Structures are given as structure tokens and as C-alpha cells.
A = this chain, B = another copy of it.
Amino acid sequence: MKLTESAQGVYSIAVTPFLPDGRLDIASVDRMTDFYVGAGATGLTILGIMGEAPKLSEEESLAVTKAVVNRTKVPVIVGVSSPGFAAMRSLAVGAMERGAAGVMIAPTPNLRTDDQIVNYYAQAIEAIGTDIPFVIQDYPLTLSVVMTPKVIRQIVVNHPSCVMLKHEDWPGLEKITTMRGFEKDGSMKKISILTGNGGLFLDFEMDRGVDGAMTGYAFPEMLADVVRLSKAGERDKAHDIFDAHLPLVRYEQQQGVGLAVRKYVLQKRGAIASDAQRKPGSSLSKTAKDEIDYLLARLARHDPRARV
């Protein structure tokens, strides 16, 4: 089943499970996949930045893809961003052969002008082929590439296989409104827009018209609740559950240690056997773990699912 413009809900950015010695923990993949889908994920995105993708060999990347795809029926998007198009093509084709629904492509950090960005995607699609559905990853904070709404529209117009925008600009609320305006004025086809940034603005992003979230917050249940309640017009309730989780969302959304926080909570919740990262990884001090435990305890007063 290929990814389409109608994708919506919560696409969890999956971590990659490792054993404490750094080897892939393929045994945890099933458990983790079940966890995300059980918590409300309508899709999965694997091998993204939070999936520690650059630390995996291509063989390992394909093994993870195969394991995830075999375990679930929800669409699986595979991150294929790479400094070179040979590696991008190889991974994209290999992932689709193993049953992935589509791929996600981030621009390389050196791109500056509008034309450079548009050309980069043209080259990437020439490399992977026009039949693989792809997602534009727009994440200036980490990638240091700034794409205007017009540039994104140009990429969508140029490439029919572009079906989704992972929106992770910051701030980005007006950008969502502008992109949806392009659809309304007919200058761009409707695409799926899912938002990242750890969910930090999901409450208002839904109000602005996105189709859901694509992020790895360790309680996908909350993301799913906010998407569901927002679509049902239950704005206050959506904000209530969002606000209850915000202290932890905020804590998780720290450049550099965010993944360690996320894996720590996922391990506590039983989603993965170990919170180990493959080297070089970040780790949490005793004090940081205490802070997270404190946040979880406070959260549990509002959301019983946080009792871990």
C-alpha cells in the first residue's frame, strides 16, 4: 500500500532499538511496533534523525525496515536522506521492495537559495525514480535549510510523487495557513501535512488545518487524542489533554538530549528493552532521570496512562 495525499492521524517517528552493546535489537522491533500502533499510530516513520539512521549500515537499515513492515499493516515511511544520491537511491528502492509505503527526504545542509533547493529535490527524484511516494522534510532548526511556502509548492508542482509535507518549521503556524491557502486558490494540489517539533505546537497546528502529527513523543496516545478531539471540534478538550502533557513534551524537545529522554520513557513504558543508543549517543544524568520521573508522576494525576 503506497502512501497518498490522504494520509492523516499520527505517524510515530520510531526509535531504533539497540542492545546495550550497540548491536541492533531486532527482537524489540515487534514489541515497539505493536506499542506505537496500539497507542494510536496510524502510520510509522522509521530511520529518521531520531532513528539514529546515519549510524546504521544500509544492510541494517533494510533489516529494520523489513522487520517493521512485516509486523504491521499501517503505512511505513522510511527516511532516506543522504549526502549522496547513490546511497539514497539504493536505500529507497530497497525499502520499497520490502514493503515500505514511501520515503522521506530532507535537504542537505549546504543548500541556500530557492533554486538550489528546488533543484536538489529534482535531482533526488531523478535518482530514486518518479514512482516512489515521498515526503518533504522541512526542518530548518536542525537542517539549517529554509524553505519558503513558494519553494515547497514548486517541489509539489514539479513532482506528482510528492504526497506529504513533514512540517517542522519554527515558528510555523502561519506557514501552515499559507500552504493550505495554496490548495484553496488552486495553485497546488492537496497534500498531507503532518507536523513535527515533538508536538510542541500540535494544539494550534490542528486548528490551522494540518492532517495530524509526525513526531516521536513517547505518549502517542496524547497525539492521537489531540488529533481526534480537534477533528471532532472538541477544542477545549484537545487543549486540556495537550496541556497536561506539555511539561513533558517540552522536556523531551531538547536538542541533543531529546532522544535520550524519549528512549528512557519508552523503556519505562515497555516499548523497548533498553534505552541504549548506538555510539556516539547522549545519555541522561541521575538528576535528569529524576526530573523525568517527577514529570511522569505529575502527569499521571491527569492521564493515568502515565503511570509507568
Contacts and interface: CB of A to CB of B under 8 A. Distances in A.
Contacts of A186: none
A85 B55 contact: yes
A238 to B, nearest CB: 12
A171 B256 contact: yes
B57 A279 contact: no
Contacts of A247: 203, 239, 242-243, 246
A54 B207 CA distance: 35
Interface in A185-209: 200-201, 203-204, 207-208
Contacts of A86: 54-57, 60, 278
A257 interface: yes
Q: A-side binding surface: helix, strand, loop or mixed? A: helix
Interface in A70-128: 82-87, 90, 109, 112-116, 119-120, 123, 126-127
Given A55-B85, A112-B146, A291 B250 contact: no
Nearest to A85: B55
Contacts of A279: 85, 123, 126-127
A139 to B, nearest CB: 14
Copies in the complex: 4
A151 interface: yes
A171 B257 contact: yes
A113 B148 contact: yes
A250 B254 contact: no
Contacts of A82: 54
Nearest to A244: B243
A84 to B, nearest CB: 3
A222 B187 CA distance: 46
Interface residues of A, number: 61
Contact of A287 (B177, B285, B298): B177
A233 interface: no
Contact of A246 (B54, B109, B243): B243
Interface in A274-307: 278-280, 285, 287-288, 291, 298
A26 interface: no
Nearest to A172: B254
B254 A170 contact: yes
Nearest to A256: B171
A177 B256 CA distance: 17
A208 B287 contact: yes
A25 interface: no
Interface in A116-150: 116, 119-120, 123, 126-127, 146-148, 150
30 contacts: A54-B87, A55-B84, A55-B85, A56-B84, A57-B90, A85-B279, A85-B280, A113-B113, A113-B114, A113-B146, A113-B147, A113-B148, A113-B151, A115-B148, A120-B280, A126-B279, A170-B254, A171-B258, A173-B288, A173-B291, A174-B288, A203-B247, A204-B251, A207-B291, A242-B247, A243-B243, A243-B246, A246-B246, A246-B247, A246-B250
